[in-house]
Structure 1
Amino acid sequence: DVAEDGSNWEIFSVPENFHAVLNCLKSAGVTPAAAEVTMLPQTYVNLSGKQAEQMLRLVEDLEDHEDVQHVHANFDIEESELHALTQAK
């Protein structure tokens, strides 16, 4: 799958095809700004209010823990609410 994100393009594939896709891009003279294998959710859960605040706090605590390397989540918070929650800190 390919998605346009402003002036950038995002290419999604199964992890097994990662190196083949990357090599194809490089062969075409395209230098990716970033290339990684990551986990993407198939569905998202919309959060607001207290749930959104609690989830942001949990994710932040997990990311700050020295034994945690990556945090993956499937929640979605409205942009305006996310901005308000992050500004309130």
Structure 2
Amino acid sequence: MYPENVDKEFMEAYKKASRTSQKFPPDIMLQFYAYYKQATEQEGIYTPSGEDDVRNAFKLNALLQVKGMSTKEAKQKYIELVNKHIPG
């Protein structure tokens, strides 16, 4: 996949995921979150915010699992995840 294709497919996958009304289990939601943040953050690791410490701990754990993954790889994984879980 060429870089411009990855970017285009990533944006299409993001739009598809944003429009879905499907409900996903928490582990799948965390994968969406981690791949998206790794693909889009420009300044290294993203620190979750919010007042729910337990939720932030799960988010941080998901982010640590993708730490070191390239932006391109994170975009590809995000695309694969969307295609797997959101038909059409």
TM bucket, shorter chain: under 0.3
User: In proportion to residue count, which structure has more strand?
Assistant: 1
- Please give the TM-score of this superposition, normalised by the length of structure 2: 0.27
User: In proportion to residue count, which structure has more helix?
Assistant: 2
Work out which structure has the larger RCO, using CA pairs closer than 8 Å and 6 or more positions apart in sequence. Answer: 2
- Please give the TM-score of this superposition, normalised by the length of structure 1: 0.26
